[in-house]
Amino acid sequence: MTTATTTVPYRVTPTGVLRSEWHKLRTLRSTWITLVATSALTLAMGAGISAAYDGSGEGELDTVVLVLLGTQFAQVNLGVLGILSTAGEYSTGQIRATMTAVPRRLPVLWSKAAVLAAITFPLTLWTNLLTFPLAQSFLTGTDHAASLGDPGILRALIGNAAGLALLAVLALAIGALVRSVPIATGAFIGLVMIVPEVLAMLPYDFVDDAVRLFPGRALETLTTAQQLPGSTSPGTALLAMLLWTVATLAAAALVLKRRDV
């Protein structure tokens, strides 16, 4: 007498892919080191700069920009985290196992982006909401004294968090596009920090307008509580960052579908 056995077919579901990518990201020691360092640097710089501020300088600098100067380090830290989540898998060879488990490939990219955004946005938002009142405890009585209820303050804190999350996903897409951690890191830093500064030296108005829409400059706009005359609006800056991120993700998706792992 023989007993028939039935084999349940393996199914790849969006929830399963998301759970897998969340597990991979949270079990890496580098993830938590990067996230803790990002928050600690933002808090430390916000408190340190505010404590040292004597009212004699930086008067024209926006209050939120002054408090969140640690963002300069945060964008690099989160960018590297995004790059490691994609290009890092190519360097270790783990990407082969990932794509074997998910033959359609694209759900992996979307899940990586969703998981990274879901981690970085709340982390940076809570860090900003802690840093601002801590910094303001040192700025009482100065020209940078402000509260969360003042016009533009909360919007700038949220905008900074959204911008940093988009930068992290942009870096993730660059990592998936070039598949090399060093090259992706150089491309990310060049796009965010170097290229806009070089282009800004050109004596053309249309170049100045274009530079304002680069990711790094758009993040500065999102972090500004009081919009300066003639500057890009926060809505336009957020749209520009979304377009940069979506376009790079689309390019990465195209390469992922057409190129072997």
Residue at token pair 């972090």: 223
Beta-carbon contacts of 127 under 8 Å, excluding residues fewer than 6 positions away, are 38, 39, 42, 43, 161
Model pLDDT, residue 8: 44
Which of 91-100, 141-150, 181-190 has maximum average pLDDT? 181-190
**CA gap 242, 163 in Å, rounded:** 9
Residue 119 CB-half CA count within 13 A: 25
**CA gap 252, 138 in Å, rounded:** 45
Lowest mean pLDDT among 12-16, 58-62, 85-89, 107-111: 58-62
Nearest to 245 by CA among 127, 120, 125, 131: 120
Q: What is Dmax (Cα atoms) for the chain?
A: 93
Share of the chain above pLDDT 70, in %: 93
Q: Are 49 and 135 in contact (CB under 8 A)?
A: yes
DSSP code of residue 59? T
Q: Are 116 and 169 in contact (CB under 8 A)?
A: yes
Q: Are 36 and 7 in contact (CB under 8 A)?
A: no
Instruction: Kindly tell me if the per-residue pLDDT of 9 is higher than 60.
Output: no
Six token digits for residue 167: 């930068």
Instruction: Kindly tell me if the per-residue pLDDT of 7 is higher than 60.
Output: no
Model pLDDT, residue 203: 84
Say which amino acid occupies 102.
V
Model pTM? 0.91
CB atoms within 10 A of CB 122: 12
Mean pLDDT of 175-186: 94
Q: Please spell the DSSP secondary structure of 203-233, one letter per residue.
A: S-HHHHHHHTTSHHHHHHHHH-SSPPTTSPP
Residue 102: pLDDT band (50, 70, 90) is confident
